[in-house]
Amino acid sequence: MAVNTIKVRVLDIDFDNVTMDEALDIGEKLMDEPGFKYVVTPNPEICYLARKDEGVRKAVQGASLTIPDGIGVIYGAKILGTPLKGKVPGADFAEKLMARMANSGKTAYFLGAKPGVAEKAAEKLAEKCPGLTVVGCHDGYFKYDGEVIADINEKAPDLLLVCLGAPKQEKWMSEHSGVLNARLAIGLGGSLDVYAGTVERAPEVWQKLNLEWLYRVGPDPKRWGRALRLPAFIFQVIGEKLSGKAHSN
């Protein structure tokens, strides 16, 4: 089910052109409707991968709500001449949604990250959002999907955070969408680590300068290769612009 918003296409991904508050209203509505739906939070790296890999593309395109996680997507949309209203960082979106849920008795399940991280994140979020009920947690290093899905389905959460890293989490949500007994899932990368405090967010000044992604690349050589996908994304966007394929609807 896709929501009724203006879409802005960046490479092969149709972003919902929404502010944070609009995204939260849509998130709440999606949770109120029966059936499983999911939200994706693509950054330039995912836009780039979706162009190269049909599995990633289909998984992302199957989402009910697509929000621009990082500033790179905002610049991409601007270059294409179809600007988005602004970035809607996935971790902030989910946290604000959980704050709203705390007032309405809805439940959440946290899936992903190393053992113990999801539980720690649940503890920290319960402090921040008094009233929030986290009905279950599972780490992201499991062998058998069936066992994890059975646990989620037994708890039947309104919200399921899927933090397995991208694009694994998008494929996981898409692949299991027919069997998951949750109302709304969100693919959120390393957000459980952030909520738990095992990985810190970039200092505010980096966030304000829109350089959070660069801070996260930092000294980790594993991330350097991934960071190179950002210029690759920009080249693709410029190529798209020059070929005149950009559009919104």
**Applying CB under 6 A, which residues contact ligand UDP?**
112-114, 140-141, 163-166, 168, 189-190, 192-193
Phi-psi region of 44 (alpha: psi -120 to 50; beta: other; left: phi over 0): alpha
CB nearer to ligand UDP: pick between 45 and 240 = 45
DSSP string, 156-188: --SEEEEES-TTHHHHHHHHTTTT---SEEEE-
Per-residue burial over 6-41, b = 16 or more CB atoms within 10 Å of its CB, e = otherwise: ebbbbbbbbbbbbebebbbebbbebbeeeebbbbbb
Q: What angle do CA 2, 182, 26 make, to 5 degrees?
A: 35
The answer to whether 25 and 51 are in contact (CB under 8 A) is no
CB nearer to ligand UDP: pick between 62 and 165 = 165
d(CA 81, CA 93): 26
Work out how close the CB of 33 gets to ligand UDP at its nearest, in angstroms, rounded to a whole number: 27
CB nearer to ligand UDP: pick between 66 and 82 = 66
Work out how close the CB of 27 gets to ligand UDP at its nearest, in angstroms, rounded to a whole number: 19
CB nearer to ligand UDP: pick between 163 and 246 = 163
Work out how close the CB of 201 gets to ligand UDP at its nearest, in angstroms, rounded to a whole number: 11
Work out how close the CB of 117 gets to ligand UDP at its nearest, in angstroms, rounded to a whole number: 7
d(CA 43, CA 55): 17
CB nearer to ligand UDP: pick between 141 and 235 = 141
Work out how close the CB of 170 gets to ligand UDP at its nearest, in angstroms, rounded to a whole number: 10
Work out how close the CB of 192 gets to ligand UDP at its nearest, in angstroms, rounded to a whole number: 6
CB nearer to ligand UDP: pick between 136 and 140 = 140
Beta bridge partners of 38: 185
Q: What angle do CA 27, 32, 103 make, to 5 degrees?
A: 75
